[in-house]
Structure 1
């Protein structure tokens, strides 16, 4: 019977943490490991889905379990994982380094409990946080196919109508979140402005107005009943 347990090491939160560690280790001091792990913690804390599926406490437990597994002489781990771990650890023992990462994450989680503002850093968390909004821009607004912003948004909405709820809901949700960040403060919107310079308050407002207007006028409330007194 085939075993799929290696997926614990070569994908998911353990691999994501090591990717960040490698990025920082090989950045020549450009990126701080603490800052990037703080961005990871805030990303998880700001998502109900992530908190439900794999909270930070589970991530740290996986790192500790992997360290224990590494210390067993009979342990066999995917070669890609051990190579990535060696790059991240920079000469430190693999098990020791994994436990150190778990400790840093626990400390950050205690310090950032309840915070949702993204920390300064590489900006990878912005790409993930606004994945649907970025895709919407790339496919419709930034494609250059349409002469105006309004025309691009209208074409996108029409392409999914009348089954556009699943398409528009996450885009509108991320657009509203992005708009709030931009209007909140310069620090709050800094990461967004750096990685998604097109996402201005005006553009996001136009997008939200178009989505809200479409849903109000083209999707009447299915629970509404006719007013028999004004027929």
Structure 2
């Protein structure tokens, strides 16, 4: 019978860590584990919500817990998919020691984590996480080409959510603002961002933010008739 506690292992942060590990191992040198772990940690550090819900210390503690369960031969508490992933990462032996060592590696990486994009550019998976709503906006409202102007596509997106659009537009504008800062600070990082949001240059992002701000200011005034 499936246990609800399985989600700690197959849907939580240590599952993401193992995805990173396996991806590096199977990339034939394309991805470096040290860099990808720093990216994982940077993702948490850049998000107040993520750091509040699941700080890095919790991630490493879960790796230690998995190692202890493996050592105690209590792997029945873990889902098969997680155990298979650990086997892939560890080479099929010494799983408990591997998990414990990985926890130490993550702790060490966290001590020297750098958020500088000039030193470590945004990866594809980072971009997909950071700009999930911008990607969705492009896929639904921009890419199909159903509107004559950019302003029309933004207006259609807003109208589709109004009057409950604050929940949609708030996070979208936050992503747009972050993308705009990246574009203005680093041409190289702007090129990376363009891989998932090809429309989002500095000019378009500024227009998007302006349209959203105008809508929220005008259509959601408390004194609006």
TM-score, normalised to structure 1, is: 0.88
- Equivalent residue of 2:5, what SS? coil
Distance 2:65 2:214 in 1: 51
Contact map agreement 1:45 1:116 (CA 8 A) in 2: no
For the pair 1:142 / 2:140, whether they are aligned, the reply is: no
Following superposition, the deviation at residue 132 of structure 1 comes to: 1.4
- Contact kept, 8 Å, 1:35 with 1:120, in 2: the verdict is no
Structure 2: tracts of 5 or more residues without a match: none
Judging changes above 3 Å, is the alpha-carbon distance between structure 1 residues 54 and 72 closer, same or farther for their aligned structure 2 residues? Answer: same
> Alignment partner of 1:196: what SS?
coil
- Identify if the C-alpha distance between structure 1 residues 121 and 171 changes in structure 2 by more than 3 Å, giving closer, same or farther: closer
Measure how far apart 1:49 and its partner are: 0.6
CA distance in 2, matches of 1:65, 1:98: 9
Distance 1:192 1:100, change over 3 A: farther
- Counterpart position of 1:228: none
Do the aligned partners of 1:31 and 1:122 also contact (CA within 8 Å) in 2? no
Q: Structure 1 residue 143: deviation in Å?
A: 2.1
* Mapped contact 1:32–1:121 kept (Cα < 8 A): no
- Bigger shift: 59-68 or 134-143? 134-143
Provide the C-alpha distance between the structure 2 equivalents of 1:214 and 1:145, rounded to a whole number of angstroms. 21
Instruction: Give me the whole-angstrom Cα distance separating, in 2, the residues matched to 1:179 and 1:166.
Output: 21
Please report how far the alpha carbon of residue 187 of structure 1 lies from its aligned counterpart in structure 2 after TM superposition: 4.4
Deviation above 6 Å: which 4+ runs of structure 1? none
Identify if the C-alpha distance between structure 1 residues 177 and 31 changes in structure 2 by more than 3 Å, giving closer, same or farther: same
Quick one: structure 1 residues 177 and 150, their matched pair in 2 at CA, closer, same or farther if it must change by over 3 Å?
Answer: same
Q: Does 1:67 align with 2:103?
A: no
Q: Distance in 2 between matches of 1:71 and 1:31?
A: 30
- In the aligned structure 2, how far is the partner of 1:92 from the partner of 1:193? 41
Tell whether the 8 Å contact from 2:37 to 2:106 is kept in structure 1 after alignment. yes
Q: Computing the radius of gyration over CA atoms, which structure comes out larger, 1 or 2?
A: 1
Gaps of 5+ in 1: 226-231
2:19 counterpart residue number:
19
Aligned CA distance change for structure 1 residues 30 and 145 (closer, same or farther; 3 Å): same
Structure 1 pair 120–72 and aligned structure 2 pair: CA distance change class (3 A) = same
Report the secondary structure of 1:6's partner residue: helix
Which residue does 1:179 correspond to in 2? Answer: 180
Deviations 1:173-210 (A, max 9, x none): 11001100111123443532333332211121111111
User: RMSD value over aligned CA atoms?
Assistant: 2.2
Deviations 1:90-125 (A, max 9, x none): 355211221222122111211126x36483364201
- Measured at CA, do residues 150 and 82 of structure 1 come closer, stay the same or move farther in structure 2, by a change above 3 Å? same
